[in-house]
Amino acid sequence: MSRLYRTVFIIWIVLRFGLDELVLSSFKKPGLRLLIRVLTVGRNLSSPRAVRLRQALEHLGPIFVKFGQVLSTRRDLLPEDISDELAKLQDRVPPFASEIAVATIEKSFGRKVDDIFIEFQRTPVASASIAQVHFALLATKGGGRREVAVKVIRPGMLSVIEKDLDLMRMMAGWVERLFEDGKRLKPREVVKEFDNHLHDELDLVREASNAAQLRRNMEGLDLVLIPEMIWDYCHTNVIVMERMNGVPINQVERLIQAGVDITQLAKDGVTLFFTQVFRDGFFHADMHPGNIQVSIDKETLGRYISLDFGIVGTLTEFDKEYLAQNFTAFFRRDYKRVAQLHIESGWVPAQTKVNELETAIRAVCEPYFDRPLKEISLGLVLMRLFQTSRRFNVEIQPQLVLLQKTLLNIEGLGRQLDPELDLWSTAKPFLEKWMSEQVGPRKFWDQIKDEAPLYAKMLPALPRLFYEYLKHSPQDLRVDLNKLIDEQRHTNKLMQRFMWTVIGFVAGILIMQYFVQSQFG
């Protein structure tokens, strides 16, 4: 019944805000125009279409708001009015009452807000689908004051998310059963990935730990600032962190006036993303403009400021290596290697012909090389990639859904910052360097050092473990001593022959060297 109620509610919101009219009006056929007039009789749809779309997504809940946030970064795909209005979903979702925020804080820490903070601003500075943020002043141990940001979870989120996820699971089952590509697209697994990440986002302690890990990973890179978590004031529903001061990344004119090099900022963003993905396998996966700012302080001018770490992506070593090899081959235009990697990884059936897949990949990718972002039609690329994946039965990889979403965010931000950015030439040197580090002597030595403590612990224990094994398995380990002696003699003879062969080989080299020196020296 909950699915039925949620479905009815969604349909009611669609009709209330005229989203059906918004979709149908994009078609130019006269018959549809007449249908629109019939459907809109008796409904007040005087508000602009973009406003109605934003309000509908806000009413539908956090999953739909996040969908709108992703769309807001894709100004190449949406009309300007809709992009501008959806941008408000990044940090300007209608806030919940400050009294509720205060009550949540006091319940979480068992103390009055005025006993925790020297000053607490009741009006939130940002409000999103899952939580909202208030600024405050916190007393330090030395008697000083520290500016902090207090993030408070929005009440009632769990039940709303559960209803939407339940509905998505049902729809995923329909897609899997009713559509030809259903099983290949793995809708159930994709929904499960979203389920995991959305539930993680409701635990603010997990978010704080994500921030701490990213902060450690980014030390020394000098490209990004990440707030420090104040662990004495971190709870499932509330976290207190260092207050960051920056300019939202989509306010390009303001950044230029502050002296930020926008071209370099765009390049740094590419480097930052690929570092998190391929070096660390741990990346910020909610990179819309509401969560990304830029520092305009003199000491850190032009550095990124990352916020909101409720959703992070992780990659296994296999995924990292496979993706890096794909990107490297792609940037080198080695389409045959890209095709081989897809077959080796099991993404396409083993019987797929390499040359046919290579030709298809080349046809999709080649037209977009050496072009700036402004000349790339992502919609056309995605359409052709989907056609190719369907033809060759490419399986969707649910564990990479977050990475694909983040790539859309990154490309959208890059397009806003520097439409002239050549994504390929910017990313290629980084990936080639990373690949050389993964397969070179340095990587081998690092692995040896990482495993050394394990080897040091195991070696002294081997005689005891071997003795215990012999002690507990007497029936299975009765050995014919004569056979062991014969085997040892045979081994000794082989070793003697091997040693004489080595000695003869070395002697031959020395004689040859002496002969060459005497003749040509």
Question: Which residues are CB-neighbours of 361 under 8 A, at least 6 positions away?
Answer: 335, 338, 339, 388
User: Rounded to an integer, what distance in angstroms lies between the CA atom of residue 171 and that of residue 169?
Assistant: 5
Measure the CA–CA gap between 272 and 427, rounded to whole angstroms.
10
d(CA 381, CA 19): 27
Residue 79, classed as helix, strand or coil, is: coil
Comparing CA positions, the residue from 433, 410, 73, 429 lying closest to residue 270 is 410
- CB-CB contact of 133 with 90 (8 Å): no
Question: What is the Cα–Cα distance from 144 to 146, expressed in whole angstroms?
Answer: 7
State in Å, rounded, how far the first CA of the chain is from the last one.
95
Alpha helices in 181-305 (DSSP H): 182-185, 187-201, 204-217, 252-257, 262-274
- The secondary structure of 368-424, three-state, reads HCCCCHHHCCHHHHHHHHHHHHHHCCCCCCHHHHHHHHHHHHHHHHHHHHCCCCCHH
The token duo for 71 is 């769309």
Q: Which of 268, 286, 308, 418 is catalytic?
A: 286
In 3D space, the residue among 83, 68, 21 whose CA is nearest the CA of residue 47 turns out to be: 21
Instruction: Tell me which residue of 376, 304, 297, 345 sits closest to 74, measured CA to CA.
Output: 376
Q: Which two tokens stand for residue 374?
A: 């402004």
286 is catalytic: yes
Contact indicator for 358, 347 with CB cutoff of 8 Å: no
What is the Cα–Cα distance from 99 to 96, expressed in whole angstroms?
9
Q: Chain centroid to CA 59: how far?
A: 27
CB < 8 Å & 24+ apart, contacts of 3-10:
3/163, 3/166, 3/167, 3/170, 6/163, 6/164, 6/166, 6/167, 7/167, 10/60, 10/167
Length of the chain: 521
Residue 101 CB contacts under 8 Å (≥ 6 apart), including other chains: 122, 124, 132, 134, 152
Which residues form the catalytic set? 286
